[in-house]
Amino acid sequence: MGTGTGVGRVRGLGPAGHGAKNWFHERISGVANFALFIWLLVSLLTLPSIDHASVLAWLSSPLTAVPMILFVLTTFWHSHLGMTVIIEDYVHDEGLKFGSLILLGFFNFAGAALASFAVLQIAFRGTVS
Amino acid sequence: MQKNRARPLSPHLSIWRWGPHMAMSIANRVTGGALSTVAAVALVWWLVAAASGPEAYDSFRDLATSWFGVLVGFGLTVAMFTHTAGGLRHYVLDIGAGYELRTNKNWAWVSLFAPTAVAVLLWAYILLRNA
């Protein structure tokens, strides 16, 4: 941001131009979340038990592991988009905002990676119990 | 820099009369924040515990089925259902429908309270089934 010309004084002060993309991705991931959450809710309610053996047996099927990983990814994606907007709206200090957004990204990538890896590990190990 | 008091400001929270649509808007944001933090950690914890073995899983399950875990679970269910209703409401508003004053107000009330009612029924079912 300069102090000279008119355009130099306003450059960097306006919107980044990515607002509609964030909004649209929030909607798309929301639809995916909705479908996958209904699946997860119905699956958990119809499981005979939520003990370790039943959950492992259930998660090790490809038709469970894949939707579960998709649920993890779309959830963290949607969560990242929403929390980004919340931070942008309420954290006014530029430095703090920048730092918060980076930490948010670390948190969401770590969460999505940990949860996906856990599901893959269960699925690839199979049901030896 | 001197403040220009005559400068027009866009109306904000303190200007508008509080209505259900505003309550639903902020409820959607608050529940989204709760889900992005507490529910995200719980989801990762549950899956990692399941992958880590029976002991880790049982300690998660003991916590999740304690009165505290059930309380958090109920809260997250209310948050999830409210956020879902808020999201579905947004899809309707996004296509340009549902802006008539009475319609908008009614659906805002429904999306504020129906999710909690459904969450209560769901948890009553779960707790009675496992009693």
Q: Is residue B1 part of a domain?
A: no
> Does B47 lie at the interface with A, CB-CB under 8 angstroms?
yes
Candidates B28, B36, B94: best to mutate against A (most CBs of A within 10 A) is B36
Q: Is residue A38 part of a domain?
A: yes
| CATH code, B52 | 1.20.1300.10
Q: Is residue A34 part of a domain?
A: yes
Q: Is residue B52 part of a domain?
A: yes
Containing structural domain, residue B115: 21-129
Amino acid making up residue A87: I
Residues of B in contact with A45 (CB under 8 A): 126
Residue A31 has, within 13 A of its CA and on its CB side, a CA count of 7
Q: Is residue A1 part of a domain?
A: no
| pLDDT (mean) for A81-96 | 94
pLDDT recorded at residue A2: 61
With a cut of 60, say whether residue A1 has pLDDT above it: no
Rounded distance, CA B15 to CA B27, Å?
A: 19
Amino acid making up residue B71: L
With a cut of 90, say whether residue B83 has pLDDT above it: yes
pLDDT recorded at residue A129: 47
Residues of B in contact with A27 (CB under 8 A): 90-91, 94
Rounded distance, CA B91 to CA A31, Å?
A: 9
Q: What is the pLDDT of residues B32-59, one digit of tens each?
A: 999 999 999 999 999 999 999 999 999 9
With a cut of 70, say whether residue A128 has pLDDT above it: no
Task: Count how many domains chain B has.
Answer: 1
Task: Count how many domains chain A has.
Answer: 1
Q: Which of A11-25, A68-82, B85-99, B111-125 has the lowest mean pLDDT?
A: A11-25
Q: Is residue B8 part of a domain?
A: no
Q: What is the pLDDT of residues B87-108, one digit of tens each?
A: 999 999 999 999 999 999 999 9
Containing structural domain, residue A89: 18-125
Q: Is residue B120 part of a domain?
A: yes
Query: Considering chain B, what percentage of its residues have pLDDT values greater than 90?
Result: 84
Partner-chain contact B47 A118, CB within 8 Å: yes
Amino acid making up residue B131: A
Q: Is residue B12 part of a domain?
A: no
Q: In 10 A of CB A110, how many CB atoms?
A: 12
| pLDDT (mean) for B69-81 | 97
CA distance B27 to chain A (A): 13
Q: Is residue B46 part of a domain?
A: yes
Rounded distance, CA B35 to CA B28, Å?
A: 10
With a cut of 50, say whether residue B127 has pLDDT above it: yes
Contact B106, B114 (CB under 8 A): no
Q: ipTM value, please give it.
A: 0.88
Proportion of chain B in helix, strand, coil states, percent, rounded to 5: 75, 0, 25
Average model confidence (pLDDT) across chain B: 92
Q: Is residue A118 part of a domain?
A: yes
| CATH code, A43 | 1.20.1300.10
Q: Which of A11-25, A58-72, A85-99 has the lowest mean pLDDT?
A: A11-25
Q: Is residue B114 part of a domain?
A: yes
Q: Is residue A10 part of a domain?
A: no
Q: Is residue A83 part of a domain?
A: yes
